[in-house]
Structure 1
Amino acid sequence: MGELTGLKADLAQVVRLALAEQTEDVRLFAARLVRKYRGSEPELAEQVDLFLRAKPHRAGTPLRKTGTPALAEQVLPVDDESRLSLLKVFKDSSDRESPLLSAELEESLGQLIQERKQAARLAALGLTPTRSAIFVGQPGVGKTLTARWLAAQLGVPLYVLDLTAVMSSLLGRSGSNLRAALDFAKRSPCVLLLDEIDAIAKRRSDDTDIGELKRLVTVILQEVDEWPAAGLLLAATNHPELIDPALWRRFDLVVEFKMPEAAAVKEAIKRFLGQDFALFGRWIEILTFAFRGQSFSDIEREIQRFRRAVALGTTPDADLVEDFIKARALSLDRQGRIDMAVLLAKQTRLSQHSISDITGVSRDTIRKYTADGSIVVPKKRRREA
């Protein structure tokens, strides 16, 4: 059976929204139909417009709580075969610690929050808040943590789609699971995160995918296009090149999470060290340099290892840091090792022999950059393309 298109697809969408009792979203969709068909179906557009005018818009904000059951009373959808829940639920308080974000990200996400908090003002101008966004970035840069923080700031739960449960072994069940999870999330104000969306929203031109996956892409396209203003739909991906191009056009906002810069790395080290910062603080500049190019999750994992070793008394802090720097130096190019050697000479009392052993830079080279006891900082390296 072919996919519904045009007027038939629009009719099906209206029925679906109406059966879900999403009154305000029916109004929004109907207003869109008026604009869409004003040229090709003027009589239909005029009739729908008359219906809209006959029933004035009901005041309220997109995140206004409705008369739906409390979260604890709602039964999460499950896969019929495995009985696994299709959604993971997080309910964090509004004072949840904010994620480590660049100034650009803070501005973008700050506006998204303000749009939600001032939805009435936007509605008065005929506007709606951003309904969907896709987070793009390498693993460990904070995409999921940011989704949790956003939900906490908006005072709504975060649902995360569990792909392991959605992708059923039964043919045709995956599509039903996806629909069930999405329909559940639309019943009340929430943030829904489709994590690793590239796993189910690959390019439909990819001949290696089975037909069922291509049908899942179609489902997601429809949902993103008509996601209700009462909720916020987020997606996250580590592989944007795999995603169907049509999906990109559906999202209202694309948010890029880049690898942390030096200032963010230093702040992350301080945060992850916690009360042990007093012990490791003297190494902060060296650790910031050594963690260049690492994700927040990589930094946290290594810092936690430091703290455990110190807590157990197995290794002194100096030995921990020196061993770590020595391992990191192996991944640096020659100029990077020289930069590290200069920094060690500037920030520590290590001998040139020790610095040479740690970085692999000869003592002659170290002396060249620290001639007469003064530090000669290497010229700034060209930024890698």
Structure 2
Amino acid sequence: MNTEILRIIEGGLANDKRKVVSYSNKLADRLLKEGDTKLAICIRKKIEETNLHSGVVADALRNAPLDLDSRLQIVEVIPPAGNVNKIVLDSLTQSQIDEFVNIVQNSSRLEVQGIDIPKTLILYGQPGCGKTSIAHYISYLTGLPLVLARLDSLVSSLLGSTAKNIRKIFDYVKDFPSILFLDEFDAIAKARDDQKEIGELKRVINSLLQNMDTMPRHCVLIAATNHPELLDRAVWRRFLQKVEVGMPKENALEDLIRLFCGEGQDKIVNQILNTKGLITVFEGMSPSDLKNLFDRAKVKGILSGQKDISISHLLFSVFELQDGERTEDEYILYLKSKGLSQRTINELTGISLRKIKGLTVNK
């Protein structure tokens, strides 16, 4: 205990906030083991309540680990943002994320009761469904900085360097409370039965497993992948919480449309939600695709001098994302295939009713 106290004093005198936080956490761990739970909880709360994040992040950036081959930083430290984008999740996913956040926020209480569990979460699902946004959202709710591993620097072409870089990242986050975010996780956690470069792959997986097992309890690990079927089973089992992030459905899709339309667009929102068959145009699209779609429609509206989003611009932007020809005839047939009536297509696009009728009457 004397060692921890001396190191805290050294850190304070040297204005090394990372050292103060690190050894304060170690002191709290020692006190818990010795039965002095009240003082341990007091220390943990003081760390959490004191606004050290800006200083810790600044210090962390100065000491970010490098890939020895490229000399590039292998992490990016992102402070918890107060203006984090709102996320829309289905009720099951939202409850799973809320449960994980609750565990992180109450970890000291759990430890006092003898419950020592890893704060690990893996998010999986199709691209663009919001996995990265969820990681930023958890950072915002917990007040912990997000340490984003940069895979372009982490995965090295040199034999053995990737495993060393993984160890560097885990050693780095041990020094301050943070969330380590490993995006595109399958790049480093692929199953060891892959016959390609099996020796290097085993080294990487073994390094990953060892570091996950020795990760301090004040650290949080979030991983994200589009390909959960590729992950090594031993790595998969290390995660406390496994959350599938799916495509938006029903109410979630309506909420996303409201969100991406923005304020002052109630007329357009109501038109989309109340026009028979119109919402089917947006089904099957990821939140990322939806945001890009509405942003594109807003840009077209601004450039054409309109304050409101144009349904015509919006529908044509959706059509442009489809495969096949980009003619007006194909556009009409596409909208018809979504269940829109001839009259509705005419009203939404301005294309003459005669042409719509002539094109769709025999289709």
Give the TM-score, by structure 1 length. Answer: 0.71
The alignment status of 1:309 with 2:309, answered yes or no, reads no
> Distance between the aligned counterparts of 2:239 and 2:297, measured in 1?
41
Quick one: which of 242, 253, 265 aligns to 1:277? 265
> Distance between the aligned counterparts of 1:190 and 1:356, measured in 2?
61
Provide the residue aligned with 1:319 in structure 2: 312
Provide the residue aligned with 2:105 in structure 1: 117
3-state SS, counterpart of residue 265 of structure 2: helix
Go from structure 1 to structure 2 and tell me whether the alpha carbon gap of 1:24 and 1:243 turns closer, same or farther (over 3 Å shift): farther
Q: How far off its partner does 1:283 sit?
A: 4.0
Alignment of 1:348-367 (within 5 A): 349=347, 362-363=360-361
Provide the residue aligned with 2:114 in structure 1: 126
> Distance between the aligned counterparts of 1:117 and 1:169, measured in 2?
39
The alignment status of 1:103 with 2:84, answered yes or no, reads no
Quick one: which of 154, 161, 164 aligns to 2:142? 154
- Letter of the structure 2 residue corresponding to residue 85 of structure 1: Q
**Residues 77, 145 of structure 2: 8 Å contact kept:** yes
Go from structure 1 to structure 2 and tell me whether the alpha carbon gap of 1:171 and 1:293 turns closer, same or farther (over 3 Å shift): same
Provide the residue aligned with 1:340 in structure 2: 338
> Distance between the aligned counterparts of 1:306 and 1:153, measured in 2?
31
The alignment status of 1:142 with 2:123, answered yes or no, reads no
> Distance between the aligned counterparts of 2:132 and 2:225, measured in 1?
10
Go from structure 1 to structure 2 and tell me whether the alpha carbon gap of 1:272 and 1:257 turns closer, same or farther (over 3 Å shift): same
Q: Which has the larger radius of gyration?
A: 1
> Which string of whole-angstrom CA distances, capped at 9 and with x for unpartnered residues, describes residues 280-332 of structure 1?
3354236532111110111111111111111000899243234346557879x
Quick one: which of 230, 248, 251 aligns to 1:242? 230
Q: How far off its partner does 1:85 sit?
A: 1.1
**Residues 65, 188 of structure 1: 8 Å contact kept:** no
> Distance between the aligned counterparts of 1:198 and 1:255, measured in 2?
16
3-state SS, counterpart of residue 40 of structure 2: coil
Quick one: which of 194, 197, 203 aligns to 1:206? 194
- Letter of the structure 2 residue corresponding to residue 303 of structure 1: F
Unaligned ranges ≥5, structure 2: 1-21, 325-333
**Residues 100, 268 of structure 1: 8 Å contact kept:** yes
- Letter of the structure 2 residue corresponding to residue 317 of structure 1: S
Quick one: which of 35, 40, 48 aligns to 1:59? 40
> Distance between the aligned counterparts of 1:352 and 1:23, measured in 2?
74
Provide the residue aligned with 1:183 in structure 2: 171
**Residues 120, 221 of structure 2: 8 Å contact kept:** yes
**Residues 177, 219 of structure 2: 8 Å contact kept:** yes
Q: How far off its partner does 1:268 sit?
A: 1.5
Q: How far off its partner does 1:344 sit?
A: 6.9
- Greater shift after overlay, 228-237 or 274-283? 274-283
> Which string of whole-angstrom CA distances, capped at 9 and with x for unpartnered residues, describes residues 341-383 of structure 1?
34675697467656568xx7x4378xxxxxxxxxxxxxxxxxx
**Residues 198, 237 of structure 1: 8 Å contact kept:** yes
Aligned pairs, number? 318
Go from structure 1 to structure 2 and tell me whether the alpha carbon gap of 1:81 and 1:328 turns closer, same or farther (over 3 Å shift): closer
> Distance between the aligned counterparts of 1:125 and 1:159, measured in 2?
29
- Greater shift after overlay, 210-219 or 337-346? 337-346
> Distance between the aligned counterparts of 2:241 and 2:33, measured in 1?
31
Quick one: which of 259, 267, 280 aligns to 1:289? 280
Go from structure 1 to structure 2 and tell me whether the alpha carbon gap of 1:318 and 1:146 turns closer, same or farther (over 3 Å shift): closer
Unaligned ranges ≥5, structure 1: 1-19, 29-51, 366-385
Q: How far off its partner does 1:273 sit?
A: 2.1
Q: How far off its partner does 1:276 sit?
A: 6.2
Give the TM-score, by structure 2 length. Answer: 0.75
**Residues 29, 40 of structure 2: 8 Å contact kept:** no
3-state SS, counterpart of residue 81 of structure 2: coil
